[in-house]
A and B are shown apart, each in its own frame.
Chain A
Amino acid sequence: MGIIKEIRSALVLPELSATGKKEVLQELAAAISAEYPSLEAAAIHAALLAREELGSTAIGEGMAIPHGKIAGLTEIVVCFGRSLRGIAFDAPDGKPTHLFFLLVAPEESAARYLSCLAELSRFLKNLPLRGRLLQAKGQEELLAIFSEAG
């Protein structure tokens, strides 16, 4: 538990510049790669795209949880991105997506992978929290919200 609490500040992006589905995944992958130089952005991007091909990870109401497993990774990594103008992400309700919680995990991770995904899913379903994430002024305020997470 507590993967959200441990998010690194460099992996909290309050204003994404991407405008499309592929681009936003690229932007988030690049952020992770910058923080974990042994990981190639292209490999992360490919893993995320492969998952999107099975069905969009947007869960509606402006949220998405792109995720995937990557060989060579040694820990589970979470990255948050926000797009105030919204990005078309094939959401089930057809609405643009504003909040992205991205999760990448080592190839061999098992139950922990599922419980981290469950944690993100639970976190985003919390309505007041979601509102605060959208209204937060910048990275610091976002980090403060994440540090309160259980």
Chain B
Amino acid sequence: MRIMIVGAGMVGYHLSEKLSVEGQEVVLIDQNEAKLRRIERELNILSVRGSGASARVLEEAGIDKTDLFIAVTDSDEVNLIACIISKGYNVKTRIARVRNEDFYAQGTSHAEKSLGIDLLISPDLAMAEEIMHLINVSAAFEVAEFARGQVELLGYLTQAGHPCVGSTLQDLRELQGLYDFVIVAITRGGETIIPRGQHKIEAGDKIYLVMRKSDVPAVERLLFNTASQLPKNVFIVGGGIIGQLVARQLEQKRIEVRLVEQDTKRCEYLSEHLEETVVLNCDGLEAQDLLDEGIDQADLVISVTNSDTTNILSSLLAKHHGAKRCITHINSPGFIPMLGKLGIDVPLSPRQVAANMILRFVRGGGRIVNVATLMGSNAEVIEIKVPRRDHFVDLPLRLLDFPRGSIVGAIVRHSQVIIPSGETKLQPGDNLVVFFTQKALSALESLFAE
């Protein structure tokens, strides 16, 4: 498939990387020559310098042979114009990133239809959605849904005293039947491994589990001695679009919300547009003010200002003084791997969230049904269809040569979810939720090639 991406920012780069590694033909367009040179050196893509809003540039880049067009520059207008221009050619799917609320807030589907765009994606909206999803399954620091929401992949940070600490994977596998879950990965000291039976869980590990959504409370109780429940009071730092969207949804769940915003005008607007939320006009870096307002008492702190510094510091402050959990908006993904060590539970990068959403949409049509990249690790999860080939059928999973560094977390058969053991047999048409590290990707691809 030939894919054209306009905009070599963080989202454009992330998409180019993921799609080119999968063997797709990627053309990247950007105004900034130096940026393009650097990316060309790192990735196997073709680059064209120029504006995505120019028909000449798009033609030069081969728009007439393009199947999928993705416009993700920093400018909403350029993205929309580029998509509109691409309508003149034979492009099958168009995706545009838009930031300005006016373009998508009311009657999104109408805007999408009239502009001929298949997916309008707003990083802020995507972030708000991701945050709400994380709140709904609260003990995990990372979540991804599969099989239309029936299967969850959840990441947890283990602590001394958790029942699972000290257990071997073998022991946990014996519980199959009573507790159906698969531990698909462990991240320890910055490295992600696909564990085997003799591996032992240690305090401080990040462990990733796949299970049925309905089994989450029981499994959490067993492994972590906690059961997820909604927070009672939430503290939001930053009254931008994300903060506002999240506050509104929390209000509807009857959760007590305090929202801190620096800008007085914006505070007035928020007080008018939110109902139960207490809007506070103060700086997210004024430690004493935040403590006076009770940030330390919060079950959950969500730091979503535009400044990474403010977000990181206010999260650290809250955690230091006893807040239970924080979700932290991070613009520079480079910081994410070290934040865990500092005690920041859930770092979220809006660009990564948006890019994941686009990848999910793009891959929806093919054999790969769904994908998620895990924050700060080199691992990915895909949902993939079993090809109609003999060697998959009637063999237990343990005899199929799944490459090292990959593991099947769940099987979806006729909308039934099976959490597999080594003895489970596959059938053609099954959807598999497979977890793998980058190293295993090409071997996995050839295993599933038709």
Contacts and interface: CB of A to CB of B under 8 A. Distances in A.
A4 B214 CA distance: 30
Interface in B392-425: none
Interface in A68-120: 108-111, 113-115, 117-119
Given A55-B214, A55-B215, A114-B171, A121 B178 contact: yes
Contact of B178 (A109, A111, A115, A117): A117
A57 interface: yes
A117 B215 CA distance: 17
Contact of B175 (A54, A108, A111, A114): A114
A111 B163 contact: yes
A54 B166 contact: no
Which range holds the interface residue count of chain A?
Answer: 20 to 34
B222 to A, nearest CB: 7
Interface string B165-204: 1110001101111100000000000000000000000000
Interface in B207-236: 214-215, 217-218, 221-223, 227
A32 interface: no
Nearest to A92: B177
B177 A111 contact: no
B172 A118 contact: yes
A51 interface: yes
Contacts of A24: none
A137 to B, nearest CB: 28
Contact of A60 (B164, B177, B222): B177
Contact of A121 (B163, B177, B223): B177
Nearest to B222: A114
Contacts of B99: none
Interface in B343-364: none
B175 A110 contact: no
B392 to A, nearest CB: 25
Which range holds the interface residue count of chain B?
Answer: 20 to 34
A113 B163 contact: yes
B88 interface: no
A57 B163 contact: no
Nearest to A63: B177
A59 interface: yes
Interface in A23-73: 51, 54-55, 57, 59-60, 65
B366 interface: no
A111 B214 contact: no
A111 B161 CA distance: 9
B115 to A, nearest CB: 46
Contacts of A51: 218, 221
B254 to A, nearest CB: 23
Most chain-B CB neighbours within 10 Å: which of A60, A65, A118?
A118
Given A65-B178, A118-B172, A111 B218 contact: no
Nearest to A59: B177
A110 B174 contact: no
A51 B217 CA distance: 10
A54 B217 contact: yes
7 contacts: A55-B215, A110-B163, A110-B165, A111-B165, A114-B167, A114-B172, A118-B175
Interface of A: 51, 54-55, 57, 59-60, 65, 108-111, 113-115, 117-119, 121-122, 125
Given A111-B165, A111-B166, A114-B222, 16 more contacts: A51-B218, A54-B221, A55-B214, A59-B178, A65-B178, A109-B163, A110-B163, A111-B164, A114-B163, A115-B167, A117-B222, A118-B172, A118-B175, A121-B176, A121-B177, A122-B174
